[in-house]
Amino acid sequence: MRNNQMRALRQKKQISMKELSLRTEVSERYLYFIENGEKTPSLKTAQKIAFALNESVENIFFTSA
């Protein structure tokens, strides 16, 4: 299942995949896999993404867009 909420929030906030990678210290490739539903992030990685997007983990990963 794709994480369209993560992608939508990232795009709405005008944060590139590269910028998100820098903010989270998570590779662009891995972030791409998360957005496309090919990987499920660990709780620690989900928290890093949420912090970088200034959102809650629940809003990004547990809310359908």
What is the greatest pairwise CA distance in the chain? 26
Which of the four pLDDT bands, split at 50, 70 and 90, describes residue 3?
A: confident
pLDDT digits (tens, 9 = 90+) for 6-47: 999 999 999 999 999 999 999 999 999 999 989 999 999 999
Please write down the long-range contacts of 15-24, taking CB distance under 8 Å and 24 or more positions apart.
15/52, 15/53, 20/49, 20/52, 20/53, 23/48, 23/52, 24/48, 24/49, 24/51, 24/52
CATH of domain 4-61: 1.10.260.40
Query: What does the domain layout of the chain look like in residue ranges?
Result: 4-61
Count of all residues that appear for the chain in the document: 65
